Amino acid sequence: MPSQISQKHPTGLYVLFFAEMWERFSYYGMRAILLLFLIDTVKGGMSMNASESAAIYGIYTASVYLLTLPGGWLADNILGQKKAIWYGGIVIMIGHIILAVPAGSAIFFLGLTTVAVGTGLLKPNISSIVGELYPEGGARRDAAFSIFYMGINLGSFLGIAIVGYLGERISWHLGFGAAAIGMLLGLVVFRIGSERHLKGMGEVPPARISTPESDAQSGTNKKLGYGLVILLIGLLTVLQLSGTIDMTTAQGLAKGAGVIIVIISASYFLFILFAGGLTRVEQKRVLVLIILFLAIALFWAGYEQAGTSLQIFAERHTQRMVGGWEVPSSWFQNFQPTFVLIFAPVLASLWIFLSSKSLNPSIPVKFAAGLILLGLSFFVMVAASNIAVQGNLTSPFFLIFTYFLHTIGELCVSPVGLSSYTKLAPKRYVSQLMGIWFVGASLGNLIAGIFAGGFDEENVMQMPALFNQVAIITTAFGLLLLIFWKPIKGWMGGIS
Ligand code: GLN
């Protein structure tokens, strides 16, 4: 990759790089202090318990990724990607401005919802314009995505450092305000840059370029979409009325969101498998996509605990004094983007080196590696929490090593998964299946939130057992992938 990265790229890529960098600055910056703000009782926070705040955190982060489905649809059908990014950015900025106003919980939730809606509009569309810059696909497009992934992580790094510091040390709302300024900078970059360097791109909604085939498909999609909405409303009503899930509480709402996400993804996969008009080869490839979906959801469910259980661990059980100064606990989240920035080129070079020796691991093996590394990281947390339950502060190196394992795992699954989805998806379903990829992130984020509900201060003794559960489940799934990698690779029908 380093040689590909040094190739000349169109200036448009850097416009998207900086726009996405500032958007991620605002997203991860705000996210870094979200849980702390929700549980805070002394500095003007929301004084919620861990279970309630983790559920809200889970619903929020899951919605951000779930809303990429309507966001992608709006761009494809009505707005075109460029307008979707522009309006999405404005909505995100307004959301952060609302959060910056210290005006009670109703206003706060309005702000949170606004940010989620805007991100759903911006996030999928900015990535697809990156792809559009390289219609020929191939290695240059892969290299462009690696550069773009660096932008994402540079933004996260700066956001967590600046918004995290301002929010934790000065005032929560000042932190949220800084996130708004970040998004404003992203909008300025996008406005000025896209006029000159993204001319004619993402302007016409792709669905407007219709063929009889695509019209028939969109008719069927519409009917199925309506059917699914009715099914979901019916199911949620039954669950609420029978008392199975109480959606008037944050925890119940998180479970309801889980039902929605699982039903949407299961019905979509069933539809495409049995009514999508696929050949045998394509059906087998979709089976692989289902396995990768489950794997990525599980991966993010562990990884995204950086903002939930691991954030609580950093705040309450980690030694953070350096030369008489206490490091803000949210800064620990910064080890993930920092390690991405350091190790992304290393791993990319490793894959190229292994390919040159015809030893490049197959997609299921890389996913297995990612999950096993994640599992190991949680065994590290079991050891750390065994120290913490005795009432001692733990060395920061436990969390740092955990995040190191997370990131190496992330680099085995995230970029690989993104490109494998574009390669394995039947051509006419590529953009919908890209949406489903983000639904995997949505499910993972939700689980990360629901799971952290067990981390209330009075349940402290259960911490090792909770981390142990994550460690065992993720390692076991990884081992299963490792055992069955050959048949899975066979189903991929020649794609690697
Ligand atoms: N960190 C990456 C981003 O923000 C991937 C996140 C995800 O898909 N869960 O784009």
Q: What is the pLDDT of residues 321-340, one digit of tens each?
A: 999 999 999 999 999 999 99
What is the full DSSP assignment across 222-287?
A: HHHHHHHHHHHHHHHHHHHHTTSS-TTSHHHHHHHHHHHHHHHHHHHHHHHHHHS---HHHHHHHH
* pLDDT tens per residue across span 339-371: 999 998 898 888 888 888 888 898 999 999 999
CA of 187 to the centre of ligand 1 (A): 20
Q: Which amino acid, residue 450?
A: I
Does some domain include residue 235?
Answer: no
Q: Tell me the pLDDT band of 133, cut-offs 50, 70 and 90.
A: confident
Residue 181 shares a structural domain with residue 285: no
198, 217, 234 - which closes a domain: 198
Residues 194 and 253 in one domain: no
What pLDDT is recorded for position 207?
A: 66
- Of residues 284, 352, 310, 331, the one with CA closest to residue 146: 352
Q: Is residue 226 part of a domain?
A: no
CA-closest residue to ligand 1 atom 9: 441
Least reliable range by pLDDT among 34-38, 421-425, 448-452? 421-425
Q: Spell out the residues 6+ positions from residue 397 whose beta carbon is closer than 8 angstroms to its own.
A: none
Question: Is 185 contained in some domain?
Answer: yes
Q: How much distance in Å is there from the Cα of 441 to the middle of ligand 1?
A: 8
Q: 453 and 317: one domain?
A: yes
Is residue 172 domain-shared with residue 67, that is, in the same domain?
Answer: yes
User: pLDDT value at position 199?
Assistant: 87
Q: 278 and 167: one domain?
A: no
Q: Is residue 192 located within the same domain as residue 117?
A: yes
In the chain, the number of structural domains is: 2
Instruction: Tell which atom from ligand 1 comes closest to the C-alpha of 28.
Output: 4
pLDDT confidence band for 1 (50 / 70 / 90): very low
| Least reliable range by pLDDT among 140-144, 305-309, 348-352 | 140-144
pLDDT at 170 over 80: yes
Per-residue confidence (pLDDT) for residue 4, from 0 to 100: 47
Closest residue by CA, ligand 1 atom 10:
152
Indicate if 273 and 418 belong to the same structural domain: yes
pLDDT band at 220 (very low <50, low <70, confident <90, very high): low
Same domain, residue pair 459 and 390: yes
Query: Ligand 1 atom 4: the closest Cα is on which residue?
Result: 152
What average pLDDT score do residues 404-412 get? 95
Q: What pLDDT is stored for residue 388 in this prediction?
A: 94
Q: Where residue 289 sits, what CATH number does that domain have? A: 1.20.1250.20
Is 114 inside a domain boundary?
yes
Substitution candidate for ligand 1 out of 414, 434, 442, 445 with most atoms within 8 A of CB: 414
Instruction: Please give the residue that has the higher pLDDT: either 214 or 459.
Output: 459
- Are 181 and 261 within one domain? no
Tell me the ipTM for this assembly. Answer: 0.95
For a ligand 1 pocket test, name from 26, 67, 152 the mutation site with the most ligand atoms within 8 angstroms of its C-beta: 152
Would you state the pLDDT for residue 222?
74
Q: Which two tokens stand for residue 195?
A: 């006029």
Q: What is the pTM of this model?
A: 0.89
Kindly indicate the confidence band of residue 217, based on its pLDDT and cuts at 50, 70 and 90.
low
Q: How far apart are CA 238 and CA 385, in angstroms?
A: 40
113-127 pLDDT per residue, tens: 999 999 999 998 898
Among 198, 213, 229, which residue terminates a domain? 198
Residues with CB under 6 A from ligand 1: 24, 152, 300, 414, 441
Candidates 61, 194, 63; CA nearest to 126 is: 194
Same domain for 180 and 253? Answer: no
Measured by CA distance, the residue closest to atom 5 of ligand 1 is 414
361 lies in some domain: yes
Most confident of 2-16, 45-59, 179-193, 223-237: 179-193
* Residue 239 placed within a domain: no
pLDDT-based confidence at residue 143 (cuts at 50, 70, 90): confident
Of 173, 198, 223, the residue at which a domain comes to its end is: 198
164 and 280 part of one domain? no
Examine the domain organization and report whether 406 and 285 are in the same domain: yes
- Evaluate whether residue 203 is within a structural domain: no
Ramachandran region of residue 323, left (φ > 0), alpha (ψ -120 to 50) or beta? left
Distance CA 25, CA 183 (A): 8
Mean local confidence (pLDDT), 81-90: 95
Distance 292 CA to ligand 1 centre (A): 16
State yes or no: pLDDT of 258 exceeds 90.
Answer: yes
Q: Give the 3-state DSSP-derived string for the chain, with helices as H, strands as E and coil as C.
A: CHHHHCCCCCHHHHHHHHHHHHHHHHHHHHHHHHHHHHHCCCCCCCCCCHHHHHHHHHHHHHHHHHCHHHHHHHHHHHHCHHHHHHHHHHHHHHHHHHHHCCCHHHHHHHHHHHHHHHHHHHHHHHHHHHHHCCCCCHHHHHHHHHHHHHHHHHHHHHHHHHHHHHHHHHCHHHHHHHHHHHHHHHHHHHHHHHHHHCCCCCCCCHHHCCCHHHHHHHHHHHHHHHHHHHHHHHHHHHHHHCCCCCCCCHHHHHHHHHHHHHHHHHHHHHHHHHHCCCCHHHHHHHHHHHHHHHHHHHHHHHHHHHHCHHHHHHHHHECCEECCEECCHHHHHHHHHHHHHHHHHHHHHHHHHHHHCCCCCCHHHHHHHHHHHHHHHHHHHHHHHHHHCCCCCECHHHHHHHHHHHHHHHHHHHHHHHHHHHHHCCHHHHHHHHHHHHHHHHHHHHHHHHHHCCCCHHHHHHHHHHHHHHHHHHHHHHHHHHHCHHHHHHHCCCCC
Q: The domain containing residue 52 runs over which residues?
A: 8-198
Band (380; pLDDT cuts 50, 70, 90) = very high
Ligand 1 centre distance from Cα of residue 415 (Å): 10
In a domain, 218, yes or no: no
Closest atom of ligand 1 to CA, residue 24: 4
